[in-house]
Amino acid sequence: MNIQQLKEAARIISEGGLVSFPTETVYGLGANTLNSVAVAKIFKLKERPSFDPLIVHIASVDDLKMLTNEPSEAVIRLAEKFWPGPLTLVLPKCKLVPDIVTSGLPTVGIRMPDHELALNLIKEAKCPIAAPSANKFGQLSPVSAEHVRKQLPGVDYILDGGTTTVGIESTIVSIEGNVCTLLRPGKITLDDIEKALPGTFVFNTTKPAKLVAPGLLKSHYSPNKPLYIYNRANLPLPESSGLILHNPGEVPSSDCKLIYTSKTGDQLEIAANLFSALHTMEDDPAVKQIFIEPVVEKGLGIAIMDRINKAAYKYQPSA
Ligand code: AMP
Ligand code: MG
């Protein structure tokens, strides 16, 4: 880790600027949570609608107390078990958190990222950092500094930490009393969370109708060229196609650009390479449309299919 670069990034955050930084999931576009003007710059640069709340990143479980009033025993238990890690907890917010961060919601999404650079940036800047993914609204999430440069050349600073390891966004759950609701699937599954909480907890996978945050919508994370979920009916593939497969097995006879996200079908590997594969297809001018193989919707496969379905949604004939 380059200390000079870290200090420079922290200075920019303290002075109200925007810094893109790596986490274990995807790259974030960060600002000082407590500075509403700085947070407004995130929405402007990303072209993000103001009704889409941001996730606040902290560097210790203790920082929770600054953002939410009296976290319950269950919340502390989840934080201690899964943090630092890819789990966002949506909790009642306290007054200190500006409304712009939560899009006016009475709750705030909080997580502690499992990445040395991110944690040190938060500590050095001495404030919780509000950060959505560092992409233009609705487009592919960035998993490298290069992806951030491509979509957000106007960012004040990028801390380059190489390619992220998890590769898809955090799991999001809201905790209200003894009710836990899955808002977005991720690497940490609802089963993992269920095991960590007392038997008295109730688990929901149906999102509350009143919540219309785009991360929860049907279309999101899309490449800028058509993406279709691949099946036998697509064969032979049209000319100038890109095909993303998750396991080298049967290769279609069609002439296409082929990318494997995994050599073994391992879900962790597929998740880690999913957005990179989509970015590579998006960047290749020879590829006019992309086909992507589905995965089995079990465990991490639920989160992988959530991203694939959202990325492909607007290109479906019925959309
Ligand atoms: P991103 O950081 O770009 O992955 O997006 C953050 C996502 O977190 C939003 O699109 C919402 O879906 C979700 N989120 C953040 N804060 C809240 C909240 N207070 N209530 C519900 N969802 C939230
Ligand atoms: Mg995002």
pLDDT digits (tens, 9 = 90+) for 76-124: 999 999 999 999 999 999 999 999 999 999 999 999 999 999 999 999 9
Answer yes or no: are the C-beta atoms of 185 and 203 closer than 8 Å. no
Do the beta carbons of residue 292 and residue 227 sit within 8 Å? Answer: yes
User: What is the arithmetic mean of pLDDT over 173-183?
Assistant: 94
Best mutation site among 171, 172, 176 for ligand 1 pocket (most ligand atoms within 8 Å of CB):
172
pLDDT at 318: 66
Strand blocks (E) in the chain: 19-21, 28-32, 55-57, 87-92, 107-111, 129-130, 157-158, 171-176, 179-184, 202-204, 227-229, 241-245, 257-260, 289-292
At residue 249 the predicted structure's pLDDT band, cuts being 50, 70 and 90, is: confident
What is the band of 13 on the pLDDT scale with cuts at 50, 70, 90?
very high
Q: What atom of ligand 1 comes closest to residue 216's alpha carbon?
A: 12
Phi, psi of 51 (to 5 degrees): -90, 10
Q: Is 211 in the pocket of ligand 1 (CB under 6 A)?
A: yes
Q: Which numbered atom of ligand 1 lies nearest the CA of 132?
A: 2
Mean pLDDT of 197-218: 73
Q: What angle, 0 to 180 degrees and rounded to 10, lies between the N-to-C axes of helices 300-313 and 267-283?
A: 20
Ligand 2 center to 203 CA (angstroms): 24
Q: In this structure, are residues 153 and 61 in contact, taking their beta carbons and an 8 Å threshold?
A: no
267 — pLDDT class (breaks 50, 70, 90) = very high
Atom 2 of ligand 1 has which residue's CA nearest to it?
Answer: 132
The number of residues in the chain equals 319
66 lines ligand 1 (CB under 6 A): no
CA of residue 33 to ligand 1 center, whole Å: 14
User: What pLDDT is stored for residue 173 in this prediction?
Assistant: 96
C-alpha to C-alpha distance for 176 and 173, rounded to whole angstroms: 10
DSSP 129-140: EE--BSSSTTBP
pLDDT of 182 strictly over 80: yes
Residues 147/162, Cβ–Cβ less than 8 Å: no
Is 254 a residue whose pLDDT tops 80? no
Q: Which atom in ligand 1 lies closest to the alpha carbon of residue 105?
A: 19
Using alpha carbons, select from 49, 58, 52 the residue that is nearest to residue 89: 58
φ, ψ of residue 255 to 5 degrees: the values are -85, 110
Kindly state the tokens that stand for 139: 């487009």
Q: Note the pLDDT of residue 209.
A: 60
Average pLDDT over residues 42-63: 95
